[in-house]
Amino acid sequence: MLWLLAAHAVAFRAAEGIATRFGWSAVGQDLLVNVFLLFLLLVGFTVLNWIGTRQGSVREANALPKRATAREEWLRGAVIGWAAALAALVSMVISGALHPQFFWTAPAWWGAVVSMLSLVVAGLATEVAFRGFLFRRLIDATGPTTATILLSGIYALIGSLSPNGTGLSFIVTIIAGVLFSMAYLRTHALWLGWGLHFAWAAVTAVLFGLPLAGVASYSSVVQTDTSGPVWLTGGVYGPDGAFFTAIVFCVAMVAVYRATGNYAWNYTHPTILPGGYPMDVPPPQAHVAMEQAAAAKTAALVQIAPAPSSNGSERTSSSESAQLP
């Protein structure tokens, strides 16, 4: 956790200096922050894993295994995240709480592209930070249930530092942490959770132009104002602080469970080790001595007389019969 906090501080300072030097926008600075943070987390957690185990690559240490279904897992997560975002916004659309404005200028479209890139990197950085190395070590130490509760609480606590956070947004973020933790527990990888995280953020912030955890800088082409009660819309914090979002996240847990049956079967079951007792037991000394004594004896010669032919036997019998009176 100390490395996570230190990496975020270093990434923010470095990105702030570069953005100020070249006059970049807030979205460009946010992209730099996420890129630097992701790099520092991957390297730092890999080093910590090597110190503890003297083995492990960047992928292994950060729960990013190279396997045939990685792309498929990411896409399934993106579909679930997309559906969850649309479901969370249905009540706002029906109640008429959304008031969008559209900006079709070239800078607005360029800002949307940069925002999408920033959200892709931010989704992976967040998953690496909270569901990668730290989560796996906590599981080893305390078990999956305790690890999920602890890191979901820390995830919500850090999220509460965002602008305009509320008590309801804190609870919703805890539920979101459990959802993302479940995505890891069902696949033992971050691909599914990364896709889910990105799709939720992209739909709410870029496509609908709503604040994302209190940050509205991702909305460039579409900028949406909301009206109505905060429990319905999340207010200036965005859908991440709405009551209906908590219900949607609970339903999304069921969807994640149903969509990961094959992955759980292939990747999460422990390796079956052979049991029983070893069968390479040496023979008794008395048996070894008998074999050695038998091998030392000179083999006796056995002569086998040739058997008489059948024709000769018949002739002998006939001649003997002829001599009988």
pLDDT of residue 322: 40
pLDDT of residue 257: 96
pLDDT of residue 318: 44
In a domain, 283, yes or no: no
pLDDT of residue 323: 43
Query: Considering its fold, how many domains does the chain have in total?
Result: 1
pLDDT of residue 32: 94
In a domain, 239, yes or no: yes
In a domain, 29, yes or no: no
In a domain, 282, yes or no: no
Range of the domain at 104: 68-267
Using H for helix, E for strand and C for coil, what is the string for the chain? CHHHHHHHHHHHHHHHHHHHHHCCCHHHHHHHHHHHHHHHHHHHHHHHHHHHHCCCCHHHHCCCCCCCCHHHHHHHHHHHHHHHHHHHHHHHHHHCCEEEEECCCHHHHHHHHHHHHHHHHHHHHHHHHHHCHHHHHHHHHHCHHHHHHHHHHHHHHHHCCCCCCCHHHHHHHHHHHHHHHHHHHHHCCCHHHHHHHHHHHHHHHHHCCCCECCECCCCCCEEEEECCCHHHHCHHHCHHHCHHHHHHHHHHHHHHHHHCHHHHHHHCCCCCCCCCCCCCCCCCHHHHHHHHHHHHCCCCCCCCCCCCCHHHHHHHHHHHHHHCC
In a domain, 52, yes or no: no
Can you give the pLDDT of all 325 residues of the chain as single tens digits? 899 999 999 999 999 999 888 888 888 899 999 999 999 999 999 999 999 888 888 999 999 999 999 999 999 999 999 999 999 998 888 888 888 899 998 888 998 999 999 999 999 999 999 999 999 999 999 999 999 999 999 999 988 887 788 889 999 999 999 999 999 999 999 999 999 999 999 999 999 999 998 888 888 889 998 888 888 888 889 999 999 999 999 999 999 999 999 999 999 887 666 666 666 777 788 877 888 887 777 766 666 777 665 554 444 444 444 443 4
In a domain, 257, yes or no: yes
pLDDT of residue 316: 46
In a domain, 43, yes or no: no
pLDDT of residue 310: 53
pLDDT of residue 265: 92
In a domain, 140, yes or no: yes
